Amino acid sequence: MELQDYLKNVVQDIDLMIIRYFGHPYGPLQEASAHLLSAGGKRLRPAVCLLSADAVKEGSSFDVAPAALALELIHTFTLIHDDIMDHDAERRGVPTVHTLWDESTAILAGDVLYARAFEFLCRTPAPDNARVRAVTLLADTCNDICEGQYLDMSYEVRDDVTEVEYLDMVRKKTGALYAASAAIGAIMAGGKPMQVDALFQFGMSAGIAFQIQDDLIDLMAPSSVSGKDRASDIRQGKQTLVSIKAREAGIDLTPYRKTLSDPEMDALIARLETAGVIAEVREAAENILEHGRSVLTILPGSDERRLLFELGEYFVTRGS
């Protein structure tokens, strides 16, 4: 099966589960919880989870599906809260939860998804010790995500953030959930410790590379493609690898902390490309991803292992 066909199938399966469990909200808070969840998405974390499960035990992804849904719920919970903190008005092509309701309701809506994620993780048919390991890992991951988000916000008032600091932030904010997605799939499928560790490392590397590419998309893709406010990172003064490399190249992004017209955006992108900033950022993502793919050789050869390799490549080449 081709990767895009596999991803389409995952989207369909996860969307059906979302309709089943969240498609008939019975009150305002449940409607708010389901809003962003039902607005679409690539369902990439569930895909990583399901592929990892089948990579260690063929056919195990059917039983692991509730855990895959749990990971999508955690991801959506973080998006709802991120949108509040970043004051974003649009996500996945629809108004953000806090703009349709209010901030307090949006916070609670995210909390509902957080709680239900652990419910679905515990519903996954697997030995008790596997479920305990998975719950513990996901709880630790959520702690990392919060720390990463805090670092991301604290960096906004600094202009001396290093690449090492940025990568530590991204490891926690984005890499951790992809690492957990891969490892939880393997744990629930009965994977051996070395297999679980290899998939965790792959997920972490792929997730960091994913975030670096996401930073490029925020800069370069129009809102109609990305489904988000264009150049929100620059407007808010976020310290991304783009901004760090730009500073090293002598480009001051401070004057761009405002709403930019398309011609202004195009001129900035051209300036960054001429200085080699965009190429350096892309190379960094590729190098990090390559480490993650190298550890996958511990897994037996299979279509699922091949698809994991291809999924990692997709993470650093996608345009939205």
Q: 17-57: per-residue pLDDT in tens? A: 999 999 988 899 999 999 999 998 999 999 999 999 999 99
CA max distance for the chain: 57
pLDDT of residue 153 exceeding 70, the answer is: yes
The DSSP element (H or E) to which 63 belongs, if any, is helix 61-86
Nearest one of 243, 265, 269 to 159, comparing CA atoms: 243
pLDDT tens digits, one per residue of 167-191: 999 999 999 999 999 999 999 999 9
* Secondary structure (3-state) at 90: strand
pLDDT of residue 229: 64
pLDDT of residue 269: 87
pLDDT of residue 228 exceeding 80, the answer is: no
Residues 104, 153: Cα–Cα separation, whole Å: 20
Domains of the chain, earliest start first: 3-310 (1.10.600.10)
The mean pLDDT value for 232-243 works out to 84
pLDDT of residue 226 exceeding 60, the answer is: no
The token duo for 65 is 């599906």
Cα–Cα distances (Å) from 318 to 73, 310, 312, in that order, read: 23, 12, 10
The mean pLDDT value for 271-292 works out to 92
pTM of the model: 0.92
pLDDT of residue 224: 62
Cα–Cα distances (Å) from 292 to 68, 72, 297, in that order, read: 21, 22, 10
Strands 90-91 and 94-95: antiparallel
